[in-house]
Amino acid sequence: MTVFVAACIQLRSGKDISENTARAEELIRAAAADGATFVQTPEMSNVLVRSREELAARIDVLERDPFVAMARRICAELGIFLHVGSVAVLLDGGKAANRAVLIAPGGAIVETYDKIHMFDVDLPGGESWRESSTYRPGEKVPVVDLPFGKLGMAICYDVRFPALFRAQARLGAEILTAPAAFTRQTGQAHWHVLQRARAIENGAYVISAAQGGRHEDERETFGHSLIVDPWGGVVAELDNDTPGHVVAEIDLGKVARARARIPAIANEREFDCRMTEAVRGEPA
């Protein structure tokens, strides 16, 4: 069975794309030096800015994004697979895409994924998010057959929608991903349990690089980049919100063993779900 080393890069992206790109490159090189051949960065690796107008003024189309250009160059140089957790890229019509990009060792873009589920919420304490006002949601969920295993792509809030990951697992995905910029508030409550749940219920590795700390636009993200094994064990964690990297050995034999012990995917059955209205009658 395939064994390889994966890495999560934890960032604290700000408004300056060139600064974010330079810091990420340093950390990617450090992860590769530690033996990683698959490296993942977090959601919104290129820029984090709350204002829709300011974001639109800073980003460009994917083909001209400086972060993606750096990622392609470093993959070609270091011979690694790089999963850019996501970048904000400009679309026609005034909106952006929250787009993950998977890059091969030669520097070619293998696959992209646009985040499907938009985080539209009002949180206690006055924090409010309306991703749908800025980003156009995607419609397709990929599974990529890589030399070392089958990988499913997702982003952040997607992790709360188990059907997405189950669909990937049914197609054979052995590695699931949820690179994120989780808010501190929701991260403290749910980050670890959601990552572990997706791993356990699908018998798959889950790799999730994260943003961490207080950003220029005043948001706070949780950090705690994680790699979880198919039995739900945390095999690597950057246990803070500071930029850095963490590596772990991925043994895809554990996927086969977990799915043999708990064959939840194989045992699934179709069923009907319906609402029943109770009828109140007079007692006999």
Catalytic positions are 43, 115, 156
Domain ranges of the chain: 3-261
Is a pLDDT exceeding 90 seen at residue 215? yes
Cα–Cα distance for residue pair 141/152, rounded to 1 Å? 8
Q: pLDDT > 90: what percent of the chain?
A: 88
Write out pLDDT tens, residues 145-190. 999 999 999 999 999 999 999 999 999 999 999 999 999 999 999 9
Q: What is the pLDDT of residue 50?
A: 86
Is a pLDDT exceeding 90 seen at residue 216? yes
Nearest to 208 by CA among 191, 190, 233, 189: 191
Q: Which CATH architecture has domain 3-261?
A: 4-Layer Sandwich (3.60)
Q: What is the pLDDT of residue 280?
A: 66
Q: What is the pLDDT of residue 122?
A: 79
Q: What is the pLDDT of residue 277?
A: 86
Angle between helices 17-33 and 66-78 (to 10 degrees): 20
Residue 67 near residue 32, CB atoms below 8 Å: no
Write out pLDDT tens, residues 84-115. 999 999 998 889 999 999 999 999 999 999 99
Is a pLDDT exceeding 90 seen at residue 1? no
Write out pLDDT tens, residues 26-68. 999 999 999 999 999 999 999 999 888 999 999 999 999 999 9
